[in-house]
Structure 1
């Protein structure tokens, strides 16, 4: 999908912002670029859509040199989300989202349909928000619109430059979870710049750590925590985060504090209410005795709300779970295979007793170990 070959960026004063960087990003991956200020992470990302032209080397998109594109056409085909959001204050939300489709010559009917679809996708009621102006929305709502706008023309690639850093911690965490859920459904190729290592560990399929324009290590979060390849990488991640002997850590010690479950006969409206109340992206399905049955995603429930009577109709089997006797190492191994990015923890009778998500796993393993109490919440 994306390929960097010995790419450098040198400014007129001789400053080398990016120094001979080479890596590949496969289709559908969320790659996080992280490093200290001045490390070259944002410049590396902006060279993809030529907001910053590279000085030497080659950047290919699906095998085609990005310099062979007309710059304006290249940028219209790549979604872009920034920290400042950048909504036009004098345009309605509908008009803001419609900008790129209009430039691409879409019909008015197709644009209206797309705007409605995207507002629903990011959790904003089109009847309420389409006609509003940016100043009438909260920061989190504006950033949702920014994500919708980036998705408007259905691009294969989305660039995100510290999109959540200006938001309050609660809104930021919620949007991180929503983006992870969207990514599972849409399978876009996302390049995500951040300065927050916790955010990188939570979001990234892989993480690229940069310093002084050089790429020091590009690996999965688990590999970075297990095997930092450079002294600076270990220092930047934080030595307290480096995983030590996960095979000795019981999985029950790293389970989430709550598991939200529901019965298969629950209505989609009831499920949506719970999803919004608890700010979750997937809902675990159990029977009356709390035995694990399956899972539904928030996206599927919202999409099918008018087509189903119970969530059993869209429930998917969940083949990845662990017994409460497993270790943290078992969870690390299984997490790479889990299509939902979470692992239910069950007892010997397959009753749900806890939940490990990718974010909670890495967070728990990369900090001082503390015991947590598991609360199973059901409706």
Structure 2
């Protein structure tokens, strides 16, 4: 799908932002580019659609040199999502999404159907949102529109430049989960730039770590954590981390024992206050004996805020969950089945004793420090 061969980028002042990098991205792959500020990750991504022309080397898209494409047509054929979202404030949501299909000559009926389809896909009712303007939407809703617009002309490739970094933790976690689901459903090739290692570990099929314009390592999250190929990679992920065999590691060794819980009779206003105070996205709901009853998502509470009296009205089953006798391998297998990106851990009486989250699973497995390492 995408191939870089000895690609470099040198600016007019002589600064070399990218230094002869070579790698491939497969069809349908979710590749994350990560590194410190100035590492060349964003420049690398922008060279794909020639927003930044490369100085030397070759970038192939489906076997064709991207320099042989018309630049405008190339950019219209590749979805692009940025941190600032970039919606046109004087256009309705429908018109914002329709921009690229209109430029490509789609007929109005096709465009209308596509806009409605994409709004449904990103969880926004077209009857409610199509004729609104960006200023009438929350930050999370605007970013959903940004994703819908990137998908509008059904591109095979989508570039995403730190799309969630400006969002609050609740919205960010929710959109990360939704993007993972969308990727599995649509099988698009996604190149995603971030500076957040937890986000990279959560999102990427593979992760490319860059520094000073060089590609230091491109591997799966597990391989990066287990076999860092460079001293900087080890430092960037977390020096002295080790990974134990997940089949042998008890889930109680990787779970967080700090679990934010609530009784089902809590009002939605108090539930939201607790969620925001603790910077979480979901509440574990328990009875008076701390026995697991279910999960309430912040999104459902916000959506139903004016229609419910207590949070048990939007209570969802806590499935899957793990018993405290389970292993880390059980958590890894079950995480793909979890719609919340987290798994409650309970004892034999079904009392909540901990929590495993999608974002923390890999890093928790890799952060078993020995006393000697701490001493160093």
Tell whether the structures are fold-level matches, with TM greater than 0.5: yes
CA distance in 1, matches of 2:334, 2:65: 35
Equivalent positions of 1:98-177 (< 5 A) are 98-177=98-177
CA distance in 2, matches of 1:43, 1:5: 15
TM-score by length of 2: 0.74
Contact between 2:28 and 2:190, CA under 8 Å: does it hold in 1? yes
Deviation at residue 368 of structure 1 after TM alignment:
6.2
CA distance in 1, matches of 2:91, 2:334: 43
CA distance in 2, matches of 1:221, 1:177: 17
Deviations 1:133-183 (A, max 9, x none): 111111111111000000000100000000011111111111111111111
Aligned residues: 312
CA distance in 2, matches of 1:355, 1:155: 38
Contact between 1:31 and 1:191, CA under 8 Å: does it hold in 2? yes
Contact between 1:246 and 1:329, CA under 8 Å: does it hold in 2? yes
The equivalent residue for 1:62 is 62
Matched, 1:95 2:91: no
CA distance in 2, matches of 1:163, 1:172: 9
Deviation at residue 363 of structure 1 after TM alignment:
4.0
What do you get for the CA RMSD once the two structures are aligned? 3.3
CA distance in 1, matches of 2:330, 2:230: 26
Q: Give unpaired runs (5+ residues) of structure 2.
A: 261-279, 283-291, 293-318, 370-376
Distance 1:169 1:345, change over 3 A: closer
Q: Give 3-state SS (helix, strand or coil) of 1:239's partner.
A: coil
CA distance in 2, matches of 1:170, 1:87: 22
Distance 1:21 1:105, change over 3 A: same
Q: Which moved more, 1:243-252 or 1:68-77?
A: 243-252
Contact between 1:161 and 1:194, CA under 8 Å: does it hold in 2? yes
CA distance in 2, matches of 1:244, 1:253: 11
CA distance in 2, matches of 1:343, 1:106: 42
Distance 1:329 1:159, change over 3 A: same
Deviations 1:329-371 (A, max 9, x none): 5655x589x6889898999x9x9x99866434224324469xx
The equivalent residue for 2:7 is 7
The equivalent residue for 2:48 is 48
CA distance in 2, matches of 1:202, 1:25: 18
Contact between 1:40 and 1:211, CA under 8 Å: does it hold in 2? yes
Contact between 1:83 and 1:164, CA under 8 Å: does it hold in 2? yes
Contact between 2:242 and 2:368, CA under 8 Å: does it hold in 1? no
Equivalent positions of 1:178-257 (< 5 A) are 178-239=178-239, 242-244=242-244, 246-254=246-254
CA distance in 2, matches of 1:153, 1:249: 46
Contact between 2:6 and 2:20, CA under 8 Å: does it hold in 1? yes
TM-score by length of 1: 0.73
CA distance in 2, matches of 1:132, 1:152: 18
Contact between 1:331 and 1:343, CA under 8 Å: does it hold in 2? no
Deviation at residue 128 of structure 1 after TM alignment:
1.1
Q: Give unpaired runs (5+ residues) of structure 1.
A: 259-277, 281-289, 291-317, 370-379
Deviations 1:54-99 (A, max 9, x none): 1111111111111111000000000000001000011000000000
Equivalent positions of 1:262-277 (< 5 A) are none
Contact between 1:322 and 1:343, CA under 8 Å: does it hold in 2? no
